[in-house]
Structure 1
Amino acid sequence: MFSTDLIEAARVSKAWPFQEAQRLAKRYRDGKPGGKPVLFETGYGPSGLPHIGTFQEVLRTTLVRKAYEIVAASDDGTPAPTRLVAFSDDMDGLRKVPDNVPNKALLEDNLHKPLSRIPDPFEKYESFAAHNNAMLREFLDRFGFEYEFIAASDRYNSGAFDDALKQVLRHNRDILDIMLPTLREERRQTYSPVLPISPKTGHVLQVPVEVLDAETGMIRFTDEDGEVIEQSALGGMSKLQWKVDWAMRWYALGVDYEMYGKDLTDSGVQSGRIIKALGGRKPEGLIYEMFLDEKGEKISKSKGNGLSIEEWLTYGSEESLGFYIFPNPKSAKQLHVGVIPRAVDDYWQFRERILEQDIDKQLGNPVWNLLRVKDSSGSQPPIGSGDSLPVTYGLLLNLVSVLGATATHEQVWSYLGNYMHDMDPDDHPDLYRLVEKALAYNRDFVAPTLQKRAPAENEAAALRELDARLAEVDPDMAAEDLQTIVYEIGKNEAHGFDNLRDWFKALYETLLGSSQGPRMGSFIALYGVENTRKLIAEALAA
């Protein structure tokens, strides 16, 4: 049950999931007829394995779904009913063999057949599509998404799509009138809304089709060997062209909301026109921008310039990935390993703020929305007062980099004892897991790039003063007090720093081997006063 305050705030919130939900709520001002749940859909092509694009689409759709449940809640606070369907287009014909599969010859021998009718090259499931569908479900389950899985092959083969297919056949001419003007002349000659499946080869055929009887589903076409075939388009004997298939799916399932990438903008326009011709209504939706690599170029599977889910989760947390994806979907985002540390720390900063925020601010907080993805029990996500990291991920990375590429989890955790009184991993599970990720990130990206330099004359003088001041402090001095000492030395005009930034850069480059670094007071407290003095001695001896 949702509180009145939450519902009222959700209905005027400027956060993008609630803006989308507000727009969707106007579709059915009094709720969907018959009290039916509003249907959200995400689509997936199982010609390859699930990837980060699959994750972001299901996540963003779920965020809108959860927002809609509040925005369209009943007067007594009961959430609006919703469903989320993850749809797999496994009737699509295999056009090329993916690079990341075994037994490529097996797939090569089955090109152009529906994915659901091709043997599994991994030899685990009854078909290639069944394997990839299982991977998709395992993938979605891993992140705790609530969804219903629907495979196109099940709907086509069982006849569940037959009524919608008959409607496509009835409006075959209307669909051609929509699609033909958008195609090149050569493509027009072979284009058909319906793609028959050859009774001889099992291939999905791109050939002209004549509709003989829409009510019985009978069609006529020329097979690959030149023979004219008359057969039904129903019961899995055909599938539809992509844009027609998308529209038919919306029509058959009654989809109310589906978002898609900018690269499918034209498909969305044409499919919207087709569903109108079928007598249905195009779903509401959002067109999101694509991910870019660190050079600002579009991510391409063939180029291999993307970042996989596995790579992100090797170096960062699941929550940080959701956090990074959350902001404005209509803006392109660079997606590479360099954004991970900041995303981890920003996630925890936003998480710490939630309890201090008014409800309207909470609705715009990415973490509040992300926590609701896995919790439908009430209006307030499960957030405790102790939800914070004792040490930032950035600081943890600095510690690991100083300890070196051979550092172990146990060594890092023991150093954290300088900073935390309670060292029980059960009390800090998120930090405990991040240690392993910091070790991996340092090993693969930080350690190979570190290069300490010798201090300049004025920098050496400042380091000697810092060493002298540290020699006099209590080893357990608080990080803020240590930071004050560092500030005072940097402000000392005798050392000739134009600004504090130059002083801190000198500390990072001479002590840590990097041009960027942490708050030095926090680092000294974490690494230890005596260990820091040893770093200073090494720098002065360089």
Structure 2
Amino acid sequence: MSTDNFMAENLNQDVIDAAAQSRAWPFEEARKIVKRYEKKGYPDTVMFETGYGPSGLPHIGTFGEVARTTMVRHAFHVLTENKVKTKLLCFSDDMDGLRKVPENVPNRALMETYVGKPLTQVPDPFTKDYPSFGAANNARLRAFLDRFGFNYEFASATDYYTSGRFDETLLKMLANYDKIMAVIIPTLGEERRATYSPFLPISPVSGKVLQVPMIAHDAKKGTITYIEPETGEKIETEITGGKVKCQWKADWAMRWTALGIDYEMAGKDLIDSVALSSKICRILGGTPPEGFNYELFLDDKGQKISKSKGNGLTIDEWLTYAPTSSLGLYMYQKPKTAKRLYFDVIPKAVDEYYSFLSAYPKQSWKDRLNNPVWHMHNGNPPEVDLPVPFAMLLNLVSASNAENADVLWGFISRYAKGATPENQPELDSLVGFAIRYFNDFVKPTKKFRAPDAVERETLEKIDQTLAHLPADADAHTIQNALLDIGRVTERYQDHNKKSPDGGPGVSVSFFQMLYEVLIGQERGPRFGSFIALYGIDETRALIADALAGKLVNE
């Protein structure tokens, strides 16, 4: 999984030239690494890192950080013409002490007795298939990274500390103990200052990760001395061999230095921590990595998503209702803008992905390298041409009350001649997603309203107009017929718009009315396209039901 050169594409001069000019954010980020080494030359391997705290189940924020870092890594390969080796290290801080029991795990009472102990010493509360809670969550992290085909190398803090891989840098930290304390102490409150140390000893008595003050430190011996909370005795311990771990901000700096990390991004809430860790990294003789601070994901209430709370969406929840590609697009778009990460964002993300994918083959290389799908697919986006968008499928499920894919395919095959589940596997998967999404999120909130007198008259005109159209009328023809009715109905005239004959245009309230009365929702894609898919006769039956009051009473 950690192959140095992971690009599948063959670079040509057009791609190289377009990359040099591209202002897509992954290229802007990759240029920081190019600038970092443009004078002194590149190391054997340029190191990218993402960090993971396995105190809770992996969530979409974790996926987003790996996905975005992978996009920057790919852009870097293009800028350097695929001549520089790279590695993406996904680092798990699984030696961290369990601060509190997450709300979304079983056997919480048992786990309470392990609070304070390293996550790799806490029993697995799930299936008992793993030796620890940390190992169980690490396995989940690797499973979903593998599921999406990320190219990475997994790293465990427990393994790195206990194997001695950090020993040399830990000793540097001990030699610079006073300098590091001088950086950190001013940032702490009075109470925390009294107990702070960059080293957190693992208690030989309780097994807990201790946050205790040091009463002595000896750089020559490589030891620290503290008072054991359980017994009150003075304990001198080596800082090597996994007998201590670092407090997380010091740990971050120590890791950057020891592993030579060149790029790592972090959430906006960690801006101050990045600055502090960067200072410590320099004290240790290292160079802080390049990176940027992305905005946080919010749940449906506007609160930051949290592993321990389990709010927001999980990976599996998103992928129950939409393909992986839609999630990748959501991660690409506006990384420095806070975004709600909840079920209602899924349909738009799906359709936007396929819209970008459809545009890609017709674009110049300049536009392709600004197209999200190029970054999402390492320069090789798939060729997919969907005859029906996802939002339209949702409306089709809503209008037809379809409970299975066969019913929907009856409509689709009539609309898109020759389309079958076999030759349109991508669309077939979307059909399944649409049915699940509709049943879980749209159906429970559907709210039809009865038409008033003007709306009844308008619906009757639409019914009469549809009756005179050919059964196979296309979406454009149907949409224009609807617009003609809207233009002559005073309520729906928009004098700020102009129709082709110079008269007033049609207000959006016209189509909003159609959706509210006939579909039971406020908006949707072009109604002419929906009728072409659903069928003229079927739409007339829907209008008849609305006029008879049958839809309102459902």
For the aligned pair, the TM-score class normalised by the smaller chain equals over 0.9
Worse-superposed segment, 358-367 or 248-257 = 358-367
Superposed counterparts of 1:106-505, under 5 Å: 106-122=110-126, 123-210=128-215, 212-224=217-229, 225-300=231-306, 305-372=311-378, 380-384=379-383, 387-404=384-401, 407-493=403-489, 497-498=493-494, 499-505=506-512
Q: Is there any run of 5+ residues in structure 2 with no aligned partner, and where?
A: 1-9, 495-505, 550-554
Q: CA deviation at 1:388?
A: 2.2
Q: CA deviation at 1:474?
A: 2.3
Q: CA deviation at 1:111?
A: 1.6
Match of 1:376 in 2: none
The whole-number CA distance in structure 2 between the counterparts of 1:190 and 1:493 is 75
The whole-number CA distance in structure 2 between the counterparts of 1:312 and 1:514 is 22
Q: CA deviation at 1:330?
A: 1.5
Match of 2:27 in 1: 18
Which AA in structure 2 matches 1:369? H
The whole-number CA distance in structure 1 between the counterparts of 2:388 and 2:220 is 68
Match of 1:375 in 2: none
Match of 1:507 in 2: 514
Q: CA deviation at 1:423?
A: 3.5
Worse-superposed segment, 93-102 or 305-314 = 305-314
- Relative to the length of structure 2, the TM-score reads 0.91
* 1:38-64 alpha-carbon deviations (Å, 9 max, x no partner): 100000001111001101100111111
- Relative to the length of structure 1, the TM-score reads 0.93
- SS for the counterpart of 1:26 is helix
Q: CA 1:105/1:296 → structure 2, altered by over 3 Å: closer, same or farther? A: closer
The whole-number CA distance in structure 1 between the counterparts of 2:211 and 2:232 is 14
Q: CA deviation at 1:310?
A: 2.1
Q: CA deviation at 1:9?
A: 2.0
The whole-number CA distance in structure 1 between the counterparts of 2:311 and 2:102 is 16
On the 8 A contact 2:99/2:115 being kept in 1, the answer is yes
The whole-number CA distance in structure 2 between the counterparts of 1:535 and 1:204 is 66
* 1:378-434 alpha-carbon deviations (Å, 9 max, x no partner): xx41443xx221101111111111122x62222112221221222321321121111
Worse-superposed segment, 132-141 or 9-18 = 9-18
Q: CA deviation at 1:457?
A: 2.5
Match of 1:539 in 2: 546
Match of 2:103 in 1: 99
On the 8 A contact 1:56/1:325 being kept in 2, the answer is yes
The whole-number CA distance in structure 2 between the counterparts of 1:352 and 1:419 is 19
* 1:345-403 alpha-carbon deviations (Å, 9 max, x no partner): 1111111111111111111111111011xxxxxxx41443xx22110111111111112
Q: CA deviation at 1:328?
A: 2.4
The whole-number CA distance in structure 2 between the counterparts of 1:493 and 1:200 is 83
Q: CA 1:138/1:300 → structure 2, altered by over 3 Å: closer, same or farther? A: closer
* 1:501-528 alpha-carbon deviations (Å, 9 max, x no partner): 2322222122112221231221111111
On the 8 A contact 1:459/1:503 being kept in 2, the answer is no
Q: CA deviation at 1:205?
A: 1.0
Superposed counterparts of 1:53-68, under 5 Å: 53-68=61-76
Which AA in structure 1 matches 2:236? E
The whole-number CA distance in structure 2 between the counterparts of 1:32 and 1:512 is 62
The whole-number CA distance in structure 2 between the counterparts of 1:504 and 1:232 is 73
Which AA in structure 1 matches 2:331? I
Q: Is there any run of 5+ residues in structure 1 with no aligned partner, and where?
A: 373-379
On the 8 A contact 1:156/1:162 being kept in 2, the answer is yes
Number of residue equivalences: 527
Q: CA 1:325/1:65 → structure 2, altered by over 3 Å: closer, same or farther? A: same
The whole-number CA distance in structure 1 between the counterparts of 2:444 and 2:188 is 51
The whole-number CA distance in structure 2 between the counterparts of 1:293 and 1:128 is 26
On the 8 A contact 2:103/2:309 being kept in 1, the answer is no
On the 8 A contact 1:259/1:287 being kept in 2, the answer is yes
Q: Say if 2:58 is the partner of 1:50.
A: yes
